[in-house]
Amino acid sequence: MHAESSSAANAEPIQELLVDQLRDILHAEKQLTKALPKMLKAARSAQLQSLLQIHLAETEEQIERLNEALKLLGAPARAKACKGMAGLVEEGEEVMSEGEEKEDAAADLALIAAAQRVEHYEMAAYTTARNLALQLRQPAIVQLLTMSLGEEQNAGQLLDQVAQPLMSVAKMPNAVE
Ligand code: FE
Ligand code: ZN
Ligand code: FE
């Protein structure tokens, strides 16, 4: 980061971009509060279900943090259509309908794959927004975004952990073919 280049003259476009990014993430998270309950119902393993349940609660807190961050910037907490997340949610729905005909482990692994794309998309969004907030010297916003970024990273790691035992189960029936 080039903190010294952050003069009053160029702070405005950065602030505008941050507001725009926060509004996009707000809509992304709102879409997830609708998608996660469906994914949770589709999940077969108890670990995956509880992971998604916990992340749903975290997602609701993340929405509160985004509202607060927008308030700190004096911007109305209006959401902006996030097409990226809409596409990822759509892929998740595909995975769930395809999963109906699959074995438990295979269906859950496909669900985890879809969920990981969501988590990594969010990590990219929060990392960028946090960098913009750092540049604007908005420590309260940096703190809010750091908390949410940490939750996304943790969710990604937990998904990887849940996938591990499922992979050894999933390879058994196919190995015979
Ligand atoms: Fe999130
Ligand atoms: Zn987006
Ligand atoms: Fe997430």
Separation of 140 CA from ligand 2 center, angstroms?
A: 23
Q: Is the distance from CB of 48 to CB of 112 less than 8 angstroms?
A: yes
Alpha carbon distance 116, 51 (integer Å)? 12
Give every CB contact of residue 174 below 8 A, 6+ residues apart in sequence.
Answer: none
Separation of 23 CA from ligand 2 center, angstroms?
A: 9
First to last CA, the chain: 54
Tell whether the model's pLDDT for residue 151 goes beyond 90: yes
Residue 82 DSSP symbol? -
> Nearest bound ligand to CA 152?
3
> Nearest bound ligand to CA 128?
2
Separation of 61 CA from ligand 3 center, angstroms?
A: 11
Condensed to tens digits (0 to 9), the pLDDT of residues 111-134 reads: 999 999 999 999 999 999 999 999
Separation of 50 CA from ligand 2 center, angstroms?
A: 26
Count the neighbouring beta carbons within 10 Å of the beta carbon of residue 62: 26
**DSSP, residue by residue, 107-136:** HHHHHHHHHHHHHHHHHHHHHHHHHHHHHT
Alpha carbon distance 166, 35 (integer Å)? 22
Helices (H), the chain: 8-42, 46-72, 83-99, 104-135, 139-175
Give every CB contact of residue 84 below 8 A, 6+ residues apart in sequence.
Answer: 28, 121
Condensed to tens digits (0 to 9), the pLDDT of residues 17-72 reads: 999 999 999 999 999 999 999 999 999 999 999 999 999 999 999 999 999 999 99
Looking at residue 171, what is its pLDDT?
A: 72
Condensed to tens digits (0 to 9), the pLDDT of residues 69-98 reads: 999 999 998 999 999 999 999 999 999 999
